[in-house]
Amino acid sequence: MPLRMKINGEARELELDTRTTLLDALREHLQLTGTKKGCDHGQCGACTVIVNGERINSCLSLAVQHEGDEITTIEGLGTPGDLHPMQAAFVKHDGYQCGYCTPGQICSAVSVLKEIRNGVPSHVTDDLAGDIGLSNIELRERMSGNICRCGAYSNIAEAMTEVAEA
């Protein structure tokens, strides 16, 4: 099927089998290999990308569901010479070891701060009527869909706190 998407600000056209996931379209057809394939079942979060401003698991989405959508991958957030503040904070706080989950972690982390700004509550938000804080436990709960086998969680939360308070 023919498909048009805007990826990292650039209009792209593809011809894909209907079975192609958004993840495989990015990695195998557009050579945007920053987005990683971990479990391929929505459990690990390594494939997290931002679609029309919201983070999703690109492995559990067919590319054809995204006709006309705007997709931001880790490549679109920042570049080696011009890091996104969240990327810079991950480097500063050692928010990774092997780095495999990092693109997904960063796409998620950027989105989490936006979700908090937009007033989306979480499982650990005490008062549904009040403002949502940026406590460590809030950040950790919201990042639970991104697994890190190296266990860099506490440093990731510190990186996020720094960006949130900047």
Partner 1 sequence: MRSFTYERARTPAEAASAVATMRGAKFLAGGTNLLDLMKLEIEAPSHLVDVQDLDFGEIADTDDGGIRIGAMVSNTMLSAHPRVRRDYAVLTRAIQAGASGQLRNKATTAGNLLQRTRCSYFYDTNMPCNKRRPGDGCSAIGGSSRQLGVIGISDSCIATYPGDMAVAMRVLDAVVETVTPDGSTRSIPIADFHRLWGDTPQEETVLERGELITAVTLPRPRGGKHFYHKVRDRRSYAFALVSVAAVIQDDQTGQVAFGGVAPKPWRVPEAEELLPQGAAAVVSRAFAEARPTDQNKFKIPLAERTLAGIIADARS
Residues that bind ligand FAD (CB under 6 A): 42-43
Distance (Å, rounded) from C-alpha 8 to C-alpha 23? 14
Please state the closest distance from residue 48 (CB atom) to ligand FAD, in A.
Answer: 13
Distance (Å, rounded) from C-alpha 46 to C-alpha 39? 8
From its phi and psi, is residue 29 left (phi > 0), alpha (psi between -120 and 50) or beta? alpha
CB-wise, 32 or 139, nearer to partner 1? 139
Distance (Å, rounded) from C-alpha 15 to C-alpha 7? 15
CB-wise, 44 or 160, nearer to ligand FAD? 44
Residue 95, Cβ density class (10 Å: 0-12 exposed, 13-18 middle, ≥19 buried): buried
Total binding residues toward partner 1, as defined by CB under 8 A: 40
Sole binder of partner 1 in the list 36, 84, 93, 142 (CB under 8 A): 142
Q: Which two tokens stand for residue 36?
A: 């990683």
Tell me how far CA of residue 45 lies from CA of 8, 113, 115, in angstroms: 20, 17, 17
Residues, the chain: 166
CB-wise, 92 or 119, nearer to partner 1? 119
Does position 118 interact with partner 1 (CB under 8 A)? The reply is yes
Please state the closest distance from residue 41 (CB atom) to ligand FAD, in A.
Answer: 6
Distance (Å, rounded) from C-alpha 16 to C-alpha 143? 32
Does position 99 interact with partner 1 (CB under 8 A)? The reply is no
Sole binder of partner 1 in the list 79, 136, 144, 154 (CB under 8 A): 144
Q: Hey, which residues between 39 and 78 contact partner 1 (CB under 8 A)?
A: 40-42, 45, 48, 54-57, 60-62, 64-65, 67
- Chain residues binding partner 1 by CB under 8 A are 1, 17-19, 21, 40-42, 45, 48, 54-57, 60-62, 64-65, 67, 108, 111-112, 115, 118-123, 125, 128-129, 140-146
